[in-house]
Amino acid sequence: MPGKVYMNGDFVAKEQAAVSVYDHGLLYGDGVFEGIRVYGGNVFLLQEHVTRLYESALAIRLEIPIAPEAMARAVEETVAANGIEDGYVRLVVTRGSGTLGLDIRRTSDPQVIIIADTISLYPAEYYEQGLELITASTIRNHPSALNPRIKSLNYLNNILAKIEATDQGKIEALMLNHKGEVSECTGDNIFILKRGVLKTPPPDAGILEGITRDAVIRLAAQEGMTVEQVPLVRHDVYIADECFLTGTAAEVIPVVKVDGRVIGDGVPGPITRRLLELFQQLTRGD
Ligand code: PXG
Residue where one domain finishes, among candidates 58, 86, 117: 117
CATH number where 136 lies:
3.20.10.10
In this structure, are 137 and 113 located in the same domain?
no
Res. 110: pLDDT tops 90? yes
Going by C-alpha positions, the residue among 165, 178, 177, 179 that lies closest to residue 135 is 165
CA of 269 to the centre of ligand 1 (A): 23
In this structure, are 129 and 179 located in the same domain?
yes
Burial of 160 (0-12, 13-18, 19+ CB in 10 A): middle
In this structure, are 21 and 57 located in the same domain?
yes
Structure confidence at residue 143 as a pLDDT band (50, 70, 90): very high
CA of 53 to the centre of ligand 1 (A): 12
Going by C-alpha positions, the residue among 29, 143, 146 that lies closest to residue 92 is 29
In this structure, are 39 and 79 located in the same domain?
yes
Residue where one domain finishes, among candidates 92, 117, 142: 117
CA separation for the pair 286, 107 (Å, rounded): 46
CB of 208 shorter than 6 A to ligand 1: yes
In this structure, are 152 and 260 located in the same domain?
yes
Task: Express each pLDDT in 45-88 by its tens digit.
Answer: 999 999 999 999 999 999 999 999 999 999 999 999 999 999 99
| Structural domain count of the chain | 2
pTM to 2 decimals?
0.97
Structure confidence at residue 3 as a pLDDT band (50, 70, 90): very high
Task: Express each pLDDT in 198-211 by its tens digit.
Answer: 999 999 999 999 99
From the alpha carbon of 36, which atom of ligand 1 is closest? 22
Which residues are annotated as catalytic? 151
| Averaged pLDDT, 28-57 | 98
Q: Which domain holds residue 270?
A: 124-284
Task: Express each pLDDT in 151-176 by its tens digit.
Answer: 999 999 999 999 999 999 999 999 99
Structure confidence at residue 121 as a pLDDT band (50, 70, 90): confident
In this structure, are 35 and 82 located in the same domain?
yes
